[in-house]
Structure 1
């Protein structure tokens, strides 16, 4: 009995066709210009199919218009029911501001969808003229971006003021010297419209502006030209002292090299003079010791000579003539006596 009831309800639902899963509801969807969006609509039962259905659009109170009959959607609309009969969703690509409004998916019931399409609002949308400095031979970026980076503007143009008129340099390079040197900075973010200019020259200096719809951002580019197309020396020294301390030893300019040579000469002369001074002091000290030694030896020699001169021996001979016979010879040495006396100088 229960199985028969299930079969009965199934036959009723199948005979009535597709019952929308979100019937009589309003669904809010947000898209971005240049992007794509899916407007959901499907049958509640996976086995049911819609014999007929329509998608209609009402933008700005103009009344309902069939999406499949409007040429504005030609080539931009795709239905999913070809692969899944119960899926009636609509895909709209390359969104535009004009696509914003109310959509209605209708079978025997209907579902409303309110689509909001966000366009590109430039972050730097001011009348102020921004100044940018670049260096010859290098690259420069002129900033321009949408507040929503997912937003791709319908039209973007970069203009350059030359010959008293603005000429387009992106996407159409109408100035010969800008060809193959300009591109958008980041192709992966649709909302990043910044312009990258490579191989800068002095001729690139001037006024530029980024244009999106009625919005503009203006820049004045100054190109500094230095010797060898390098940045000024002050920038190089700051970079070395901040990021590369191990490479601060640089070759000195030619006018400072003689100063270093003279320093080495003075140091060498100082060393030579110090050696000579030490040699002189050593020689004098050794010579003094020799003089003292000689003087001491002479004093001792003189002292010995004085002692020898102080004592002189004299001989006194006593002769006895009366008592001595004539024939007897006497030895004078036996009767000699010595008496010392001092000789005063």
Structure 2
């Protein structure tokens, strides 16, 4: 029989909901007027469905406003568990404090600073964690979401210390930009441990986005009903042993 501690962990793992990366933390992202910017928010584990909300602090009314509009785009329809918010055609009014919230206790804050020049100053390194067997979306976008750039490619930094082109593998690596030609995000399906590493979305003219992907091994699947039965057996055995000890030594 498996150790009871492992079984307890398995039950908790099956039952747990989305835990956000950067849970309870806040960080700053800098972007420029008229550009597009991605506010990252995603689960640390593979999630099939999860409710969430993006809100922005209204400093004049001292309250949180729900975010909606034509200039925002979400990724959860393509990659469940990735709630990242893409805001295009930035204005000074977009500057402020944003909150991605799954529950009142499970959230992350992002402060967006919007600057007035055309040169990008965002230097945040994005790290995404996923599990084997699942899928993940690596974000990348051009400044104009309605226009596909003349040239771009996704590459991965290999163990040979060279950048390998991923455009030849269209089965597990796909760019889904039918709705927004400027959305160049890479969807990787059927994740394996070897997919771990640094990926680069190269837009040419020394413009690129690097994403570090960490791939963890998924726990072996055990039906929840079976786990529950085993767990109940452990509880019964523990109660029985405790009672016997009291009878013997009592």
Q: TM-score, normalised by structure 1?
A: 0.32
The structure where helix makes up a greater share of residues is: 1
The structure where strand makes up a greater share of residues is: 2
- The structure, 1 or 2, with the larger RCO (C-alpha pairs under 8 Å, 6+ apart) is 2
